[in-house]
A and B are shown apart, each in its own frame.
Chain A
Amino acid sequence: MAETVWVLGAAMTKIARYPDKDCTDLATEAALNALADGGTTIQDMEILACGNMFNGTDGQRILKQIGQTGIPVFNVTNACATGATAVRTVMLSILAGESDMGIAVGAEQMGKMGLLGPAGQARAEKHVFEPAGRYGAVMPAEGVLGTGLMPGVFGQAGMEYAYEHDGVGFEQFAKVAEKNHAHSTLNPLAQYQKRFSLEEIMEARMVAYPNTLPMCCPTGDGAAAIVLVSDSKLKTLSLEQQKRAVKISASVLTSDPYSETGDALPDVNTLTRNAAKLAYEKAGVGPADLNLVELHDCFATAELLHYDNLQLCEPGGAGAFIDSGAPWRDGKTPVNASGGLLSKGHPIGMTGAAGVFEITTQLRGEAGDRQIEGAKVGMAHVIGLGSSCAIHILEKTAA
């Protein structure tokens, strides 16, 4: 039986746009705050993992700002699961017995980078057609042979679910955004804290039907950091540190298995289902035991799919689940009580670590106005296209 790993310290910056800082500033701030939160310093760390997609921020740059102790550094990228992969990397080092304490940092500075996808560039003005690439294409396919940009891709993923299941449509997707924007009004760390009515959401500017603007996550800047500790090391620390530590009951990472439709439409479901099944098995808990869930609502359509993928609702029943109010903060299974990616924000490399921060903070009972009372078990889920899915199940239990 492998050793248990605990979250000892956790921190995140408010998600915002920080034109006067660079990504390393944000990463450093989160790292120092997480170290302090855990009652530790960089001198105690035996490994650092850093997740960042776009800025060239790596663990070595962070150590140059907070202490070049010479420890091993792992720089990871895994699309939207990058931050969670950093957390898991540190955890694996502890499980392997190579270290007792380590820190994971996820950071991103996106500014206003706009739509993400494979074909965001302008077309060349002058050219002669020449087949290129694995599809032998003579010109960019975006907008000619469908879309690969995220709002449309996730719009299609939502519509595929609507095709296969009754009781799901534009209104159910919009209700997800209504909930998450409402939740975000209680979270001072969220990028946006503005409530919208269902009508306002449905009548807002259409980005890619069925996702209107408030049903798409914003781009933004931020960083989160998590300090992990082995069970044996935790027992040597102060009672206060032991009391605030949160147990990692499961940490799972999957990629997308082959599916017949996966090339035409990225399959965000199967790898999430696989990860959830494994996480529940490892943690020895079921979906009914979860007091709260932070899941990957990059678009409102995506959240609805994951109710089903994570077994939070009856099979095929995601529409009825949101209609019933179950995922609201006062419902049966609060989902994205932080405001979710839709309103809290989604700095890509940060997001996975921010989810672990959020669950940790809730289980410690330190979430302030957004606290889910008595929360003991929580899940943080992220998925990045390509694809990569990470799930962490955390529990408040005696060390």
Chain B
Amino acid sequence: MGKQIPMVDYLVLDDGAPHLVARSCNNCGALYFDRRNACARCGKNDFGTKQLGTTGTVRAFAIVHQAAPNVPVPFVSTVVDLEGGGHVKANIVNVEPSPEKVSLGMKVRLTTFVAGTDDDGTEAVAFGFEPA
């Protein structure tokens, strides 16, 4: 097996169980997964990091049947309200992609999977959510 790296920099694989971290505004507590020049909520530019919970609730989902080229379908896109704060977009995995099996308010937990491999054999590990 080749080396594994997180697909995005807010997924942490090498510090205990896989989890997400957010940039956290030290003034107002707003959370961001992307690099910010300043806080969209309060305008201050002093950020720390916050480790987020690995369980949550499905706030919204869509079951995508028509997608961009090379994207396997169907897949379930979701927005999860994380326990302890934070809202994240991801796929719901390890469940049949149908409205009968996926529901609003469903409890889910973070899981990881290999999303791709580069020419050096390095694997990009992504995260998703599965029924808790």
Chain A partners chain B: yes
Interface residues of A (CB under 8 A from B): 115, 117, 119-123, 126-129, 131, 133-139, 141-147, 149, 151-153, 155-157, 159-160, 162-163, 170, 205-211, 258, 260-261, 263-265
Contact among A115, A138, A155, A157 for B5, CB-based, below 8 A: A138
Contact among B10, B41, B64, B68 for A208, CB-based, below 8 A: B64
Alpha-carbon separation in the docked complex, A123 to B68 (Å): 10
Q: How far is the CB of B22 from chain A (nearest CB, A)?
A: 10
Alpha-carbon separation in the docked complex, A122 to B91 (Å): 20
C-beta contact mask, B29-48 vs A, less than 8 Å → 1, else 0?
A: 01111111000110000000
By DSSP majority rule, is chain A's interface helix, strand, loop, or mixed? loop
Chain B neighbourhood of A264, CB < 8 A: 79, 87-89
Judging by beta carbons under 8 Å apart, are B68 and A137 in contact?
A: no
Chain B neighbourhood of A151, CB < 8 A: 62, 64, 66
Judging by beta carbons under 8 Å apart, are B67 and A142 in contact?
A: yes
Number of A-B contacts (CB under 8 A): 169
Given contacts A138-B118, A142-B71, A156-B78, 19 further A-B contacts (CB under 8 A): A115-B66, A115-B68, A128-B119, A129-B120, A135-B9, A135-B33, A135-B35, A138-B6, A142-B68, A144-B91, A145-B7, A145-B8, A146-B91, A152-B62, A159-B62, A209-B99, A211-B62, A258-B41, A261-B87
Can you report 11 A-B residue pairs in the complex whose CB atoms are below 8 A from each other? A120-B69, A129-B122, A135-B35, A138-B8, A147-B75, A151-B62, A156-B60, A156-B79, A163-B60, A206-B66, A261-B81
Judging by beta carbons under 8 Å apart, are A146 and B30 in contact?
A: no
Q: How far is the CB of A331 from chain B (nearest CB, A)?
A: 28
Which of A133, A149, A163: most chain B Cβ within 10 A?
A163
Alpha-carbon separation in the docked complex, A210 to B34 (Å): 29
Chain A neighbourhood of B32, CB < 8 A: 263
Which of A121, A160, A209, A260: most chain B Cβ within 10 A?
A209
Chain B neighbourhood of A147, CB < 8 A: 62, 64, 67, 75, 77
Judging by beta carbons under 8 Å apart, are A260 and B61 in contact?
A: no
Q: How far is the CB of A162 from chain B (nearest CB, A)?
A: 6
C-beta contact mask, B118-129 vs A, less than 8 Å → 1, else 0?
A: 111010101110
A127-B88 contact in complex given A144-B126, A145-B127, A156-B60, C-beta closer than 8 Å: no
Specify the chain A residue showing the minimal Cβ separation from B9: A136
Alpha-carbon separation in the docked complex, A255 to B73 (Å): 33
Chain A neighbourhood of B10, CB < 8 A: 135-136
Judging by beta carbons under 8 Å apart, are B60 and A149 in contact?
A: no
